[in-house]
Structure 1
């Protein structure tokens, strides 16, 4: 957990006394979890047992299993065994119904009265469910300093969503730990945090994170109270935020944007085409089905994808209604982008500084792999204008804000990470924790900088394809340095061992060194960069055949 900058929260003492030694804790606080599909929504502490009401919420027909070896482990080190389950069978696959959710009870040995926290521990394997720091004795906290921020909120709709994750804006939950996991009780939540500076953050429901399909609530943490109303899933408007100066500035911008461009009307029109047959042509739907059926067959999948890309080029992917609406939306976004740049220039504030940073972040994220369709409104021709705005307005106005240093890194990356540019040096630990500097490993050699991740299938396929090239040219002045983007060293070690990489591999834990960001692949699993003996980038994302062809010429 990122506990250095934010407190563990405003713990409201919401347990109900039922008698001597008997308590009920609704949606208990906890500190860490390695699963968002499973949640503890109630704990009953009695003299006979500790009863956990668990909820699994995921895709219909997916299965889960609760193993009989699961224990509750107290701060004392004592373990409390799982006695029985109601609503499911232990040690057996349980398939989720069409609703995608299931509730059940787990009975453990009674927890000693002296325990303040317990961990839910299924086992020692990385895929075993583990929830750490479940709080049994909650203490309320109060605003102590003027710089503290108290987040109060209510949730409309979402009846089976019991927990929110507080995360940095655009943090990737596959790599980065959240700042806090906040319980939602009776449709309300509260959280107290210590403020470093006013910045944009996200609140996301844990069950939506589990499915990797979520609609984050964006807001600024700032001194004082921030009130948030989270709208139902089908609402066309964003969640409401009321706070002090920075949130008010941002809400004003959002209000003017809607008044100017009426995006909510466009979203309603898109909803009218929500049926696939209304949005996609029959041929596109046919290809969708074939790609789904052949997902694990790479050769067939690649062939179908090529056909689909050709369909898009011929403008035969979407129905006439969808094409017209997409064109309308694209033109509106272009107008909005120009208006936004004028607004940022005319009304500089922390809120508009965020808008500037966010625009530049899109360029950095997609510099290597290209803009997705929804961001094709952006053009690198606009970069000098935003760069000038940064240097003449925002950097002098906010010299010590973290966005200032972040944007400086962005601009450096955008200028260097291209064919003909120079690689950016960095230091990262190897699998044993020893710091390694890239430049010291590749000095005087042709090198492939291989950024990958255990969870990125295309990255690992690319890396494995380089093994024969490495073996052939490693004695002739060629090397590879890999860097794995992970939450733990263990996942990187296991993947590297499984794939058989013979070269040096480092690990980027929780984006500590911003390496992916510096190399303009922040929104992906990775990328590869071939550099010459002087550090000049020769090519980006080359195939093994591309690398061998270049090495054949350079290392004769």
Structure 2
């Protein structure tokens, strides 16, 4: 995805966030390439995409224009209806921090070529996403290729897990496959879902994830803004419960964001979630596992 970089981004972010209080009417103007979708759902990140009364954006002749009132400067998810109905989608993230935001949206395969123009928070968010992707792209490709090789020779999963996969493929629908999905979860939780080769490769993926989180949260601490707060919010909502190291980093970083944005909805949501996550881990006190660079 293309990124628009400018100097003085910290000042622009601050002034943009403050000025939104007086200009909450946002217009999204977009064009859609490589797909025949007719409708886009739009919901704030603090609202479930599965809610029944999702606002919709109509696409006419591969173009759309949608005006709405943003109550908060938070991430909004744009999801193509046809992707949603198929059960697999890649949301487009937009922050309403400028009156007019221009979007060029592609098909799912070319999602990374989407263009979002308008607003300093959008600029900073996508700049970070590109920075993160480029930083770890090479090693990710190496590990993914190794995993594909193990897939090809059926040496990534354990035999027990492979047997369950066979049953999943035989299932006529999701209801019939549900018991097998549960069995797969049990095998993962007990650590017997992978072959010895798969376990070795997973250890390398885990090591990479550890390095990513360390770098990512150092960046968040140095660049406090709503875009990064959204990513912290996402980590706490979906990943931190099963990763004590991530939970530790998120908890420490959250303290700074809560001070910076005391009334933002992310602050209460993340605070409540962290209170529950802390209870999961023995001792209820996190240890700072980070090491100096």
- Partner of 2:89, secondary structure, is coil
Q: Aligned in 2, Cα 1:206/1:302: closer, same or farther, shift over 3 Å? A: closer
Determine if contact 1:199/1:220 at 8 Å carries over to the other structure.
yes
Task: State the SS of the aligned residue for 1:191.
Answer: strand
1:234 paired with 2:234, answer: no
TM-score (norm 1): 0.40
Which has more strand, going by share of residues? 1
1:154, CA displacement in angstroms? 1.9
Q: Give 1:328 shift.
A: 4.9
Q: Which sections of structure 2, spanning at least 5 residues, go unmatched?
A: 1-21, 285-293
Q: What CA deviation, in whole Å up to 9, does each residue of 1:506-528 have, x standing for no partner?
A: xxxxxxxxxxxxxxxxxxxxxxx
Given the superposition, is the C-alpha separation of residues 239 and 195 from structure 1 closer, same or farther in structure 2, using an over 3 Å criterion?
same
Q: 1:268 to 1:415 in 2, by over 3 A?
A: closer
1:27 corresponds in structure 2 to: none
| Matching residue of 1:259 | 134
Superposed CA deviations along residues 291-323 of structure 1, whole A, max 9, x for unmatched, are 34367679x946993798289626339xx6x77
**For 1:135-158, what per-residue CA distance to the aligned partner results, in whole angstroms no more than 9, with x for missing partners?**
xxxxxxxxxx73321112222212
Question: How far apart in 1 are the matches of 2:150 and 2:102?
Answer: 36
Partner of 1:334: 210
> Does the 8 A contact of 2:76 with 2:94 survive in 1?
yes
Task: Tell me which protein shows more helix as a share of its residues.
Answer: 2
For 2:237 and 2:175, locate their aligned partners in 1 and report how far apart those are by CA, in whole Å.
Answer: 33
> Could you tell me how far apart the structure 2 residues matched to 1:307 and 1:262 are?
29
Distance across 2 between alignment mates of 1:304 and 1:156: 39
User: Residue 404 of structure 1 is aligned with which of 267, 273, 283?
Assistant: 267
Cα distance between partner residues in 2 of 1:359 and 1:304: 24
Kindly indicate whether residue 60 of structure 2 is the aligned counterpart of residue 185 of structure 1.
Answer: yes
TM-score by length of 2: 0.70
Residues in 1 aligned to 2:59 and 2:139: alpha-carbon distance in whole angstroms = 28
- Structure-2 separation of matches of 1:239 and 1:188: 14
Structure 1 residue runs without a partner (length 5+): 1-144, 372-377, 422-556
**Is the CA contact 1:287–1:304 (under 8 Å) kept in the aligned structure 2?**
no
Q: Show the counterpart of 1:305.
A: 183
For 1:336 and 1:173, the matched residues in 2 are separated by 28
Q: How does 1:501-516 map to 2 (within 5 A)?
A: none
Checking the alignment, whether the CA contact within 8 Å between 1:198 and 1:246 is kept in structure 2 is no
- 1:482 corresponds to which residue? none
Name the CA shift for 1:348/1:409 in 2 (closer, same or farther; >3 Å).
Answer: same
Taking the aligned partners of 1:282 and 1:384, their CA distance within structure 2 comes to: 32
- CA RMSD, aligned part only? 4.1
Match of 1:243 in 2: 118
Which one has a bigger Cα radius of gyration? 1
In 1, the alpha carbon distance for the partners of 2:147 and 2:181 equals: 32
1:349 maps to which of 210, 221, 225: 225
Q: Decide whether aligned partners of structure 1 residues 407 and 189 sit closer, same or farther in structure 2, where only a CA change above 3 A counts.
A: same
1:148 paired with 2:25, answer yes
Counterpart check, 1:316 vs 2:179: no
Q: Does 1:386 align with 2:250?
A: yes
1:114 counterpart residue number: none
Measured after TM superposition, the shift of residue 363 of structure 1 is: 5.0
CA distance in 2, matches of 1:192, 1:232: 23
